[in-house]
């Protein structure tokens, strides 16, 4: 029994005992399980908790449900271990007291055993008097009332785990009671998160009595449970036996009648994989409302994801995945269409009701506007059926403006889319504030302005006085600003003793400025200090020499009335940091306030705040200085320092993170490259073919940004590293390519695709001549439309696309190119001739024998750059750039985790039924399996002709006349090494690493049941991202980095900055650092001749 707890009897559970009072809040997913890989369940050390025995007079024979038994003493089944291997549980004698082990009550009549290799439990047998275990024969609520002191199942599980200290936290068992069905679902969902599967509602049973529906049975099953959907290849159902069945208690609660824990499929292991299950993609109501407002204002999903990441801190902390956002968006769109109208059986009736509801609401809006403005008018044009064709409206102000300025107008249509002395005195309870005093006096007076400044009025702080005077200025119709102030030094502290506030029109007009609003207005208020560090009004002048603002719209134009509260500022800052436009920001704020009129934040105020935010980004914590050049240097230094801090933080979070910086003679950054442990690991697995592009430039420093991108085992884009360079010179590219190979452990890629930049070509030839360098097709043809003009027709485009993407051999290309230029009269075209002369650099037919992982363009880089551009605001600094880069990485990792989750789900059936497809399904990822099956289907168009028995074959197209003239209809396939290797003329295996349709067709003809070992490329397999060990590569990397001058320079600079900050704290630190530096310099000078490395 737990110490200090009150013992109580759980109703409906046969004398089981629980302890202590209180309840626990049910959460979808424990935060402790959200980070990293979900821990495996260790062996259980049972902790015995005493329970009251059941009196012998109340025991009865147990009635067991077929296929299930009472719960045995808890022992978790580890992954890879069948429940059949678990030790059989001992039978518990009826009427005896049994301990609660691992959160499972085994009291009195509970019996445990292993039945048919399944772990199951059921609740039946003797029970307490007055508690029935049969179907409830009555009508009541769907949940029972909350009772203070009743221990919730979640709290009981947490307490048991605290005593047990091992095994899963959540432990469902037969007899466990819940207040509601939803509470039981959440409990089982938490258990499924721990174990690595998802759940869903299954069957339920209810009956109608006295006009009320009453549910008396509900089941939850694993999402893989049930019979596979007929005709669906994506169905994940495979008859998993795991389930929980709930029945009702006499007090309208629910209890677990049966529980089966066994599964017949693999469990998800990482948190990212578990998050792919639908039951673990729940979003809280507050986040739902925020997403709804953002999407209602046309903010893209990528920007919404970045905004949520800003609130959570980073993408890893955010539990909202892109997949969950898409589902929520679909749900929100459905709610937009439905509104408050309920779904009906007939869709046409529903649409009519929606339209009528919309029209009615529009009429209500018009009526309200007419009540508020007598000059408001509207007119509607109806068709014969009474439906709205056209609608026009205006208001009194607009009509009045037209009378004055309507001599010339424009018209356009737009499609409507849905340490100093104390500056204030301490607060004293009971002291009446000036604002409260003004409100009380106005209540007695009943006329005149509410706020009434006067000499002698006291305030706790200067800010309170400013707000008071600002409220007065709003009433009267003018704006205010700070004017002169006076301070002195008292007891070593700066002390302000006078402050003045003046009208915004006060003061002498600025010389040479035609827009100055200063006109010597005498209105002002001067404050002096009281003896208790407060403030009082010494002088107050209320007269003005200018007209006052009359409307609220005019008053909002004064700067003092455009203040934005800190919470709204933070929202605007997050939105602008994610490149949301000012118009969208204004609409989002209006959604929060209800409408534009209710929002006190004007567009002008937003622009001012945006300028301030951009200035803070650049300045950081650096104060303004007198000289602009010093300020710029400080801004750059601050940005560099923040970038270093970001790198240091990333290195603390990821030991595999690495960065290298190239500095000039003056110590300024010329280039910077960085990568993380995941990217370096991916490069070891998929770095044989990469693309590199530098099409994105930051607006702040105008530095070209390059991305090294490849394709993973799911044929998804994977980013290996990012690089910022000062320019696109040969020297910069040589540094970039050299450092990239170094950061990746010295592994040189086989193939690299770039644009047509000559500097890249020279740099690669100088540093890595063994790399196969090819051009991106997109860059080659990006100006073809402008170059060819009218000759660039739809027919020409289709033929050119077919020639570039479907021709497999150089003979096909030559024939096809000749036919193309002749047909369209481009034989003597200079542009087409230049492209043809460089065909070996971009044409797929000339990639034969060169492995490219089917990459023929830098589209992957272009796509990544496009996403990065969308999440960056103009003028982004280096540290912001690095932060957004890692957000992009998180997005790609999320997509990869989704594919990993899909690969672990079972394949219901093969498409063709051939044994070779079954073997491919065991080896390839589902994405690559789809490409393999496509090749199998294409191979059905060929007949096999044996040339040399079991050595050489020819495959002929069954209908060559249906193909284009340039199309090659026959291919030769050589069989080598006694069927261990197939070589086809098309070169698909060498180009992509997957068998071509001709080789597969031949294997099927020869009744080959498995793909030969030499044709199983590991990078496309389910284990393609697993390497045996990279310790040697890491050692090589560390050795290389120590010999890299740029790496040494960057490392020493970082440490020197840290030393300067520490040495500047006080005199002792300075003396220690200075002495140490001098000694270190002498030691280095003595070693320099022997250790200078170029």
Given this model, what pLDDT does residue 222 score? 94
**Which structural domain range is residue 814 located in?**
671-897
CB environment 215-239: b (16+ within 10 A), e (fewer): ebbbbbbbbbbbebeeeeeebbbbe
| pLDDT surpassing 50 at residue 512 | yes
Domain for residue 601, yes or no? Answer: yes
Token pair for 67 = 């296929």
Last residue of a domain, one of 996, 1020, 1044: 1020
Whether residues 582 and 681 fall in one domain: no
Check residue 314 and give its pLDDT. Answer: 54
- Do β-strands 772-775 and 751-754 pair in parallel, antiparallel, or remain unpaired? parallel
Residue 58 lies in a domain: no
Answer whether residue 490 is part of any domain.
yes
93 inside domain: no
Model confidence pLDDT, tens digit, residues 62-85: 333 333 333 333 333 333 343 333
Q: Is 410 inside a domain boundary?
A: no
Look up tokens 């099953």; give the residue: 221
Least confident of 65-69, 407-411, 553-557: 65-69
Q: How does residue 868 score in pLDDT terms, banded at 50, 70 and 90?
A: low
Describe the crossing of helices 628-653 and 1045-1063 by its angle, rounded to 10 degrees: 110
Q: Which residues contact 488 (CB under 8 A, 6 or more apart)?
A: 494, 495, 497
Examine the pLDDT at 924 and tell me if it is beyond 70: yes
pLDDT at position 954 is 93
Position 419 scores a pLDDT of 42
Is 760 in contact with 774 (CB distance < 8 Å)? no
**pLDDT of residue 526 exceeding 80:** yes
97 compared with 673, residue with greater pLDDT:
673
Highest mean pLDDT among 439-448, 837-846, 1067-1076: 1067-1076
CA dihedral 299, 301, 304, 306 (to 10 degrees): -130
- Tell whether 719 and 690 lie within a shared domain: yes
Q: With CA atoms as reference, report the closest residue to 772 among 742, 790, 798, 751.
A: 751
How big, in percent rounded to 5, are the helix, strand and coil portions of the chain? Answer: 40, 15, 40
Greatest Cα-to-Cα distance within the chain, rounded to the nearest angstrom:
114
995 with 922, same domain: the answer is: yes
pLDDT score of 458: 94
- Return the structure tokens found at 987: 């070169």
Of residues 522 and 50, more confidently modeled? 522
- Contact between residue 423 and residue 461 where contact means Cβ atoms under 8 Å apart: yes
Query: Dihedral of the CA atoms 88, 89, 94, 96 (nearest 10)?
Result: 150
Same domain, yes or no: 828 and 794: yes
CA distance 457 to 445: 18
Cα–Cα distance between 323 and 278 in angstroms, integer? 10
Tell whether 688 and 829 lie within a shared domain: yes
**Residues 153, 653: Cα–Cα separation, whole Å:** 36
Q: Is pLDDT above 80 for 627?
A: no
Where does 639-755 show beta strands of DSSP type E? 658-663, 669-675, 689-697, 704-711, 717-725, 751-754
* 529 and 595 fall within a common domain: no
How far is 98 from 175, CA to CA, in rounded Å? 15
Mapped onto helix, strand or coil, the DSSP state of residue 1031 is: helix
H and E: helices and strands count for the chain: 32, 28
Give 191-253 as a DSSP string.
HHHHHT--EEEEEEEEEEETTEEEEEEEEEEETT-SPPPTT-SS--------EEEEEE-TTS-
Closest among 965, 939, 944, 959 to 811, alpha carbons compared:
965
Q: Is residue 75 in some structural domain?
A: no
User: How deeply is 326 buried, as exposed, middle or buried, from its count of CB atoms within 10 A (0-12, 13-18, 19+)?
Assistant: exposed
> Are 678 and 808 in the same domain?
yes
pLDDT score at 116: 41
Same structural domain for residues 466 and 493? yes
Domain boundary among the residues 968, 992, 1020 is at 1020
Task: Report yes or no on 890 lying in a domain.
Answer: yes
Domain assignment of residue 102, yes or no: no
| Residue 539 binned pLDDT confidence (cut-offs 50, 70, 90) | very high
Residues 723 and 839 reside in one and the same domain: yes
The angle that helices 926-939 and 878-904 make with each other, rounded to 10 degrees, is 60
Query: Per-residue pLDDT tens for 17-53?
Result: 333 333 333 333 443 333 444 444 433 333 333 333 3
Total domain count, the chain: 7
Domain end among 989, 1020, 1051: 1020
- Output b/e per residue, 150-180; b: 16+ Cβ within 10 A: bbbbbbbbebbbeebeebbbbbbbbbbbbbb
197-213 residue pLDDT tens: 999 999 888 887 667 78
What pTM, to 2 d.p., does this model score?
Answer: 0.51
Evaluate whether 737 touches 673 at the Cβ level (below 8 Å): no
- Which residue in 741, 674, 686 sits closest to 715, CA to CA? 686
Are 596 and 735 within one domain?
no
In this structure, the answer to whether residues 888 and 987 fall within a common structural domain is: no
- Are the C-beta atoms of 393 and 376 separated by less than 8 Å? yes
Closest CA to 180 of 215, 155, 212: 215
Question: Are 712 and 789 contained in the same domain?
Answer: yes
Helix (H, G, I), strand (E, B) or coil at 500: strand
Crossing angle (nearest 10°) for helices 582-593 and 566-577: 140
């Amino acid at each position: 029994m737990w110490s200090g707890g009150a013992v109580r009897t759980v109703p409906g559970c046969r004398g089981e005992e629980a302890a202590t009072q209180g309840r626990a809040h049910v959460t979808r997913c424990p935060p402790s399980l959200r980070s990293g890989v979900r821990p495996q369940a260790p062996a259980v050390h049972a902790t015995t908790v005493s329970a009251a025995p059941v009196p012998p007079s109340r025991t009865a024979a147990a009635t067991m449900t077929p296929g299930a038994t009472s719960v045995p003493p808890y022992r978790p089944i580890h992954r890879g271990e069948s429940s059949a291997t678990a030790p059989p549980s001992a039978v518990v004698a009826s009427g005896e007291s049994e301990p609660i082990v691992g959160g499972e009550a085994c009291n009195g009549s509970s019996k445990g055993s292993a039945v048919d290799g399944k772990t199951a439990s059921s609740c039946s047998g003797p029970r307490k008097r007055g508690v029935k275990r049969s179907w409830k024969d009555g009508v009541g609520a769907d949940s029972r009332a909350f009772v203070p002191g009743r221990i919730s199942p979640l709290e009981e599980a947490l307490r048991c785990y605290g005593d047990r200290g091992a095994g899963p936290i959540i432990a469902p068992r037969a007899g466990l009671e819940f207040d509601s069905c939803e509470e039981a679902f959440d409990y089982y969902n938490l258990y499924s998160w721990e174990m690595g599967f998802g759940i869903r509602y299954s069957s339920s049973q209810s009956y109608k009595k006295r006009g009320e529906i009453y549910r008396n049975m509900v089941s939850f099953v694993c999402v893989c449970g049930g019979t596979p959907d007929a005709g669906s290849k994506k169905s994940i159902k495979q008859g998993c036996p795991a389930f929980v069945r709930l029945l009702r208690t006499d007090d309208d609660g629910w209890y677990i009648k049966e529980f089966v824990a066994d599964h017949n499929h693999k469990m998800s292991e990482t948190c990212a994989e578990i998050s792919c299950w639908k039951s673990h993609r729940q979003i809280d109501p507050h986040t739902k409302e925020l997403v709804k407002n953002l999407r209602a204002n046309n903010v893209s999903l990528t920007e919404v994801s970045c905004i949520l990441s800003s609130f959570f801190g980073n993408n890893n902390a955010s539990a909202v995945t892109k997949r969950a956002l898409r589902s929520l968006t679909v749900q929100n769109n459905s709610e937009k269409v439905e509104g408050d109208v309920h779904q009906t059986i007939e869709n046409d009736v529903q649409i009519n009701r929606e339209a009528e509801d919309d029209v009615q609401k529009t009429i209500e809006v018009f009526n309200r506007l007419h009540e508020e403005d007598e000059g408001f008018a509207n007119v509607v044009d109806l068709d014969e059926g009474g439906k709205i064709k056209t609608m026009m409206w205006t208001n009194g102000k607009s009509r009045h403006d037209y009378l004055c300025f309507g001599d010339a107008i424009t018209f356009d249509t737009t499609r409507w889319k849905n340490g100093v002395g104390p500056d204030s005195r301490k607060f004293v309870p009971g002291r009446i504030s000036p604002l409260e005093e003004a409100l009380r006096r106005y209540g007695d007076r009943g006329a005149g302005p509410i706020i009434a400044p006067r000499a002698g009025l006291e305030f706790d702080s200067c800010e309170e006085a400013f707000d008071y005077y600002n409220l007065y200025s709003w009433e009267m119709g003018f704006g205010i600003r700070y004017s002169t102030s006076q301070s002195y030094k008292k007891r070593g502290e700066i002390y302000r003793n006078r402050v003045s506030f003046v009208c915004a029109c006060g003061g002498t007009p600025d010389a040479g400025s035609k827009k100055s609003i200063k006109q010597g207005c005498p209105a002002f208020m001067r404050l002096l200090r009281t003896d208790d560090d407060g403030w009082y009004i010494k002088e107050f002048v209320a007269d003005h020499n200018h007209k006052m603002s009359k409307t609220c719209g005019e008053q909002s134009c004064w700067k003092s009335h455009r203040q934005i509260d800190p919470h709204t500022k933070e929202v605007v800052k997050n939105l602008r940091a994610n490149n949301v436009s000012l118009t969208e920001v204004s609409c989002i704020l209006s959604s929060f306030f209800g409408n534009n009129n209710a929002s006190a934040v004007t567009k002008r105020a937003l622009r001012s705040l945006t300028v301030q935010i951009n200035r803070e980004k650049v300045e950081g914590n650096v104060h303004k200085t007198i000289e602009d050049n010093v300020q710029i240097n400080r801004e750059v230094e601050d940005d560099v320092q923040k970038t270093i801090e970001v790198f240091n933080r990333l290195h603390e979070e990821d030991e595999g993170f690495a960065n290298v910086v190239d500095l000039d003679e003056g110590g300024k950054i010329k280039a910077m490259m960085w990568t993380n442990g995941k990217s370096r690991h991916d490069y070891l697995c998929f770095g044989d073919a990469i693309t590199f592009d530098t099409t994105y430039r930051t607006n702040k420093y105008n530095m070209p940004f390059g991305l090294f991108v490849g394709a993973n085992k799911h044929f998804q884009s994977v980013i290996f590293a990012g690089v910022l360079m000062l320019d696109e010179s040969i020297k910069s590219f040589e540094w970039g390519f050299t450092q990239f190979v170094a950061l990746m452990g010295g592994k040189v890629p086989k193939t690299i695709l770039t644009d047509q930049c000559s500097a890249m070509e020279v740099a690669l030839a100088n540093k890595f001549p063994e790399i196969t360098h090819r051009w991106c097709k997109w860059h080659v043809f990006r100006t073809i439309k402008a170059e060819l003009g009218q000759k660039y027709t739809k027919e020409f485009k289709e033929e050119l696309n077919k020639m570039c993407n479907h021709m497999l051999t150089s003979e096909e290309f030559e024939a096809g190119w000749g036919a193309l230029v002749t047909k369209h009269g481009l034989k003597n075209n200079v542009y087409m001739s230049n492209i043809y002369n460089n065909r070996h650099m971009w044409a797929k037919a000339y990639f034969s024998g060169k492995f490219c992982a089917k990459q023929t363009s830098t589209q992957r880089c272009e796509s990544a750059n496009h996403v990065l551009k969308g999440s960056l605001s103009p003028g982004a600094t280096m540290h912001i750039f690095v932060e957004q880069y890692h957000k992009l990485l998180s997005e790609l990792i999320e997509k990869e985790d989704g594919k990993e989750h899909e690969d672990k789900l079972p394949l219901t059936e093969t498409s063709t039924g051939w044994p070779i497809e079954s073997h491919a399904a065991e080896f390839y990822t589902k994405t690559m399996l789809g490409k393999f099956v496509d090749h199998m289907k294409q191979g059905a168009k060929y007949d096999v002709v044996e040339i040399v028995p079991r050595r050489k074959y020819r495959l002929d197209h069954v209908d060559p006349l249906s193909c284009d003239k340039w199309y090659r209809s026959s291919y030769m396939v050589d069989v080598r090494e006694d069927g261990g290797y197939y070589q086809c003329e098309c070169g698909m295996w060498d180009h992509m690493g997957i068998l071509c349709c001709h080789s597969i067709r031949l294997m099927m003809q020869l009744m080959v049941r498995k793909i030969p070992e030499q044709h199983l490329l590991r990078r496309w397999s389910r284990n393609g991202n697993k390497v045996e060990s990279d310790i040697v590569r890491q050692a090589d990397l560390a050795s290389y980095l120590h010999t890299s001058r740029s790496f040494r320079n960057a490392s020493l600079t970082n440490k020197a900055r840290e030393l300067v900050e520490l040495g500047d704290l006080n005199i002792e630190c300075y003396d220690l650092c200075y002495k140490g530096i001098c000694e270190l310099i002498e030691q280095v000078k003595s070693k320099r001749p022997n250790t200078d490395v170029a």
